[in-house]
Amino acid sequence: MTNNLFTSYSIITYGCQMNINDSERIAGFFDEKGLKEAPAEKSDIVVINSCSIRQSAVDRIEGKIRKLRKIKNKPLIIVTGCLLEKDRKKLSPLADHVLPITLVSSWPLPFLKKENIPFFNLSLKRSGPTAYVSIMTGCNNFCSYCVVPYTKGREFSRPATEVIKEVKEAIKKGYREVWLLGQNVNSYNGGVDFSKLLKEINKIHGNFWLRFTTSHPKDFSDNIIFTIKDCKKVTNYLHLPVQSGDNAILEKMNRPYTAQDYRETVKRVRREIPDIALSTDIIVGFPGETEKKFRNTATLFSEIQFDMAYIARYSSRSQTAASEMEETVSEEEKRRREKILVEILKESSLEKNKPYKGKKLRVLVTKESKKKGFLFGKTEGYKTVLFEGSKELIGKFIKAEITDYSSWGLKGKISRK
Ligand code: SF4
């Protein structure tokens, strides 16, 4: 392929919302350079924005590259994103380039003249009905299982003025949901603290919801609880990863709180905001997690009655402190523990979803369902609603009457009143 043939690109994103948001910046930058977004099979450049959080994610990327190599068009393959040194080395011989994401404007591509534009100054091409806004990058917490401090570096907060400007632009363009992103948003320090940032954004004129992830229990103050309670635009949804319900495991994970601290935090949150929807992250099979320790997690998990949870089987990642620990739980046992928690979750989320039947809820329409003529939306508590409607509604608020529920979501119909 000759250099002047770079006219189109495709971005394949793995991982979290932060990666989605980073891909939106690459897309915005490439668009500005005159390239057109196209399906991977028809693109001159394919960018893979990767995720190293689990070994399986890296394996999937490897498989993807091999598949892309078979495309007739022979696109230039660039791997970027959240990568450990070891994965970088592994993927290098397969891809054409493995490049740092924050230096997109200086990537060695013929149509780019090294501009060194700071990553957050690149324009955004948003890819969905939610305006994701990264307020910080990196992390200083060094949870012993996590690669983020190694792949994304130390914590850095974007100045509040910059964040607020980006939010205002999104609202002006009609976005109805703003989602602030950071690995540990409660330690945000971009000139103001996180509560103040939420309050400032809440003051922005417009009809929108304000969400944020991720919160760390150790930094989750009363100040934040009252801010969620008092700010009308901040949704009554909280994602608060607990990771384990056993104190010894929490210590080994380098999560500086106890199961009791977590219970107390949830109690305070629910006392102030009784209808808050609560979700969490849990890792099963961490090194040293005996049956008894796992039972402590299962007890906390069923006691708290979460609305939703993301349960992961422990996966050792190189460079992390936990990778030095001896793995004591077999894959089979991890699966068994995961299954036990999923069963608990099925019951708690069913109980949590039940009271919505017959209610009329405000829903943000997010995407089309595979079922023809049906759409998905999210409630303020981040519950998925399936209902009949036309795709012009995507990105808009509607009112839906909830007609049915299951553990994993709600069904409804558009209500005119
Ligand atoms: S808080 Fe812990 S789990 Fe979250 S990104 Fe930082 S090190 Fe990783």
Tens digit of pLDDT for each residue in 270-289? Answer: 999 999 999 999 999 999 99
Report, as an integer, the average pLDDT of 20-44.
Answer: 95
pLDDT of 52 > 90? The answer is: no
CA of residue 8 to ligand 1 center, whole Å: 35
CA of residue 242 to ligand 1 center, whole Å: 12
Tell me: do 282 and 361 sit in the same domain: no
Tell me: do 40 and 145 sit in the same domain: no
Q: How many CB atoms lie within 10 A of CB 173?
A: 9
Binning pLDDT at 50, 70 and 90, where does residue 2 land? Answer: very low
Tell me: do 112 and 135 sit in the same domain: no
Tell me: do 347 and 401 sit in the same domain: no
SS3 of 188-238: the string is: CECCCEHHHHHHHHHCCCCCCEEEEECCCHHHCCHHHHHHHHHCCCECCEE
Mean pLDDT score of the chain: 95
CA of residue 214 to ligand 1 center, whole Å: 9
Tell me: do 344 and 398 sit in the same domain: no
Report, as an integer, the average pLDDT of 176-190.
Answer: 96
Report, as an integer, the average pLDDT of 154-178.
Answer: 97
pLDDT, residue 55, reads 82
CA of residue 219 to ligand 1 center, whole Å: 12
pLDDT digits (tens, 9 = 90+) for 64-83: 999 999 998 899 999 999 99
pLDDT digits (tens, 9 = 90+) for 227-263: 999 999 999 999 999 999 999 999 999 999 999 999 9
CA of residue 311 to ligand 1 center, whole Å: 16
Closest residue CA from atom 1 of ligand 1: 141
Pocket-testing residue among 19, 136, 143, 255, ligand 1, by greatest number of atoms within 8 A of Cβ: 143
Please say which residue of 93, 120, 147 terminates a domain.
Answer: 120
Return the minimum-mean-pLDDT range out of 114-118, 122-126, 186-190, 238-242. 114-118
CA of residue 284 to ligand 1 center, whole Å: 16
pLDDT of 1 > 60? The answer is: no
Pocket-testing residue among 17, 53, 84, 141, ligand 1, by greatest number of atoms within 8 A of Cβ: 141
CA of residue 388 to ligand 1 center, whole Å: 39
Closest CA to 175 of 34, 356, 400, 21: 21
Tell me: do 379 and 299 sit in the same domain: no
Please say which residue of 120, 146, 177 terminates a domain.
Answer: 120
The atom number, within ligand 1, closest to the CA of 255 reads 2
The atom number, within ligand 1, closest to the CA of 152 reads 5
Pocket-testing residue among 145, 146, 150, 283, ligand 1, by greatest number of atoms within 8 A of Cβ: 146
Pocket-testing residue among 82, 184, 282, ligand 1, by greatest number of atoms within 8 A of Cβ: 184
pLDDT, residue 308, reads 97
Report, as an integer, the average pLDDT of 168-185.
Answer: 97
Closest CA to 50 of 94, 6, 88, 93: 88
Give me the count of residues in the chain. Answer: 417
Binning pLDDT at 50, 70 and 90, where does residue 54 land? Answer: confident
CA of residue 155 to ligand 1 center, whole Å: 10
Tell me: do 116 and 171 sit in the same domain: no
Is the four-CA dihedral 406, 408, 409, 411 of positive or negative sign?
A: negative
Please say which residue of 325, 354, 383 terminates a domain.
Answer: 354
Tell me: do 14 and 144 sit in the same domain: no
Q: How many CB atoms lie within 10 A of CB 63?
A: 10
The atom number, within ligand 1, closest to the CA of 142 reads 7
Closest residue CA from atom 2 of ligand 1: 143
pLDDT of 28 > 50? The answer is: yes
Residue 345 belongs to domain with CATH number: 3.80.30.20
The first and second tokens of residue 197, run together, are 């940032």
Residue 381 belongs to domain with CATH number: 2.40.50.140
CA of residue 268 to ligand 1 center, whole Å: 23
pLDDT digits (tens, 9 = 90+) for 319-332: 999 999 999 999 99
Tell me: do 29 and 159 sit in the same domain: no
pLDDT, residue 338, reads 98
Reported pTM: 0.94
Largest separation between any pair of C-alpha atoms in the chain: 64
Write out the residue range of the structural domain in which residue 385 sits.
357-414
CA of residue 144 to ligand 1 center, whole Å: 9
Rounded Cα gap, residues 60 and 63, in angstroms: 5
Do residues 259 and 296 touch, judged by C-beta distance below 8 A? yes
pLDDT digits (tens, 9 = 90+) for 381-400: 999 999 999 999 999 999 99
Report, as an integer, the average pLDDT of 19-34.
Answer: 95
Do residues 153 and 104 touch, judged by C-beta distance below 8 A? no
Pocket-testing residue among 53, 139, 145, 214, ligand 1, by greatest number of atoms within 8 A of Cβ: 139
pLDDT, residue 116, reads 86
Tell me: do 22 and 81 sit in the same domain: yes
pLDDT digits (tens, 9 = 90+) for 193-240: 999 999 999 999 999 999 999 999 998 999 999 999 999 999 999 999
pLDDT of 31 > 50? The answer is: yes
pLDDT of 3 > 60? The answer is: no
How many separate domains does the chain show?
A: 3
Tell me: do 193 and 294 sit in the same domain: yes
Tell me: do 170 and 272 sit in the same domain: yes
Percentage of the chain exceeding pLDDT 90? 91
Pocket of ligand 1 (CB under 6 A): 139, 141-143, 146, 148-149, 183-184, 216
Closest residue CA from atom 5 of ligand 1: 183
pLDDT, residue 4, reads 60
pLDDT of 93 > 80? The answer is: yes
